[in-house]
Amino acid sequence: MKFFQRLGRSLMLPVAVLPVAAILSGLGYWILTATGNDTNIAGVFLKTAGGALLDNLALLFAIGVSIGMATKPDGTSALAGLVSWLTVTTLLSPDNVALFKGIDTAQVNPAFDQIQNVFVGIICGLIGAWTYDHFKDTKLPDALSFFSGKRSVAIVTAGISLVLALVLFFVWPLVFGGLVAFGEFILTLGPVGVGIYGFLNRLLIPFGLHHALNSVFWFDVAGINDLNNFLNASGTYGETGQYMAGFFPIMMFGLPGAALAMYTTAKTSRRKIAAGVLLSSAIASFFVGVTEPLEFSFMFLAPGLYVVHALFTGISMAITAALPVRMGFGFSGGFIDLVLGWVNPMAENPWALPVMGVFWFVVYFLSFRFIIRRFDLKTIGREDGDPEDETSEDAAGTATGDAKYLATATAFLAALGGRENILDLENCATRLRMQVSDASVIDEAALKRAGAAGTMKPGRGSVQVIYGTNVQFVKDAMDDLMSGRAQPVSASDGGSASSSADAASGSADEAGGVATAARTTHLVRLRQALEGTAVPLADVPDPTFAQEIMGPGIAVQPPEDLADAVVIAPAAGTVQHVFDTGHAVALTLDDGTEVLVHVGLDTVAMQGRGFETLVATGDRVVAGTPLLHVDLAAVRADGHPTITPIVVLNDKDAAVELV
């Protein structure tokens, strides 16, 4: 499932550009049809501009998948995906197939006219990503050193693509021919067969095989020619159009209803991003009938949901076929084609299609909303972590870090089983968050010796190393080591790994703060940082805080009806660090106490949305100085607890008392 979710996110890169292209192409088609002039300059211009992308959807997928599926990709992975696509589609073009077989192009199997499809594009993208990951660091003998490293990626990609082309040369005609034969069988099943066709039409889109099925019903493969007979008004009234009519309610109303459901179930912090894709995609689906932008937005992220969509399409097709409702299209089942086909002599009761569409809008919205929430499906706006993290990790942190953090990072990498064991690396306010290949090889004792305050293993390869408020610098140093931008160092090379206490807090001097007095007692009196009820740290539903791995403290639970709050300084001191995501602030108080105020749990995932920082690192504050403004309603809507731990970082024996 994780593979398909990552694949779905990879496809969002090219899918994001399609809605506008679809609208341009649809407007051009409408102008050409309405004017009856196939050479109308405005219509040709708009249709060609939109078609430039729509007609090359599979190529965009080849490049998008090769970028999104590669680990820390750069332009090399995109080039590899393009090389694979060009190799396969050129070798299997009808002209070249005819050359290989020694026959005329007209005798080539029609399957090869459809070789430039989405399925092949995705396969080529996966080849490009895999080759990039496995060969970008290849070292060749000196005589061949020019082709070492990333230069070898495209070469290996071309070799693998030759094998793929050879396999498809024999397999693709069998698959294509099988679908055509199955389509001819469906003709004998009446409205039920129409419904099966509609179901399979949607189900085959991810593989690009729907064209084979469409050719049976829309064109003159089996004597039906539904599409051309409708446009030419040369078919049989009451029959012609039955293999197209059922698409209109789904494309114009059903899928926009699904888009609304995905928007309302998206996390509050990501709704603006989701809206940008979903709104434009819904417009393209309604007006033009181009559904790929919407369908690919959840096809791989939530494949089960896509099966439901295919089932609904089949039911819609069966209903319209059973009823006296007929309609056809020249482009697709959108509003423009519905208006243009309304007065066609083959159209039967076209008014029923919008009525049915309203019904399907409600069905899609309620069904998608329920299923997404019930099974916690990771549709757009609900993904775990920032969707851009997986494609831009190496650009996230470019600082090399000083000797101390580089030494700590070196020790951490060794204790974590080496760079090969780390599949994904992130950080929040105080801890490293990783996905590892084998958690059993991790040396927790070595991590503590290197400066970790503690280690947690939630399961399924997920590991968290609690370090402290300077964790970003360690994470940056680890990135540099793993990418080769920096070389491993030991503590004796000029920097020492910080002790647990220092690692858990960071020094005030480094953050620009100055401790004005030394504390002589373990009792720490603090003002309550925000409105709510004080609760023991042990009641916080996060082991890092509840087990006092970071240090002792207390927590505040805001009231459920409190929509937003201002977080204030609990005592006089200096701002040691304000986190980029705005969800936490570290202070060095005047007596030397180091305090972390962490608003909510796992709120780093909100990427700063809902948080406004009111101070900067190095600022002098007094008790009551506003530090942060937080939208608690947004935190709750995003699925995060609002309980706020207040932790003393540099005294494990401290007793915190609110005054």
Pairing verdict, β 553-557 and 644-648: antiparallel
What order do you get walking across the sheet with 564-568 strand by strand? 564-568, 626-631, 611-613
* Nearest-angstrom CA–CA distance, 450 and 439: 18
Three-state SS for 34? helix
Q: Are 216 and 188 in contact (CB under 8 A)?
A: no
Three-state SS for 457? strand
Residues 6+ apart with CB under 8 A from 47: 24, 25, 27, 28, 29, 32
Residues 354-384: b if buried by 16+ CB within 10 A, e if exposed? eebbeebbebbbebbbebbeeeebbbbbbbe
* Nearest-angstrom CA–CA distance, 337 and 50: 17
The one-character DSSP state at 498 is P
* Nearest-angstrom CA–CA distance, 31 and 46: 9
Q: Are 382 and 266 in contact (CB under 8 A)?
A: yes
Q: Are 16 and 277 in contact (CB under 8 A)?
A: yes
Tokens of 180: 């055509």
Cβ neighbours, 10 Å, residue 272: 11
Where in the sequence numbering do the catalytic residues fall? 428
> What ranges make up the beta strands (E) of 593-635?
594-598, 611-613, 620-621, 626-631
Cβ-based burial of 639 (10 A; exposed 0-12, middle 13-18, buried ≥19): middle
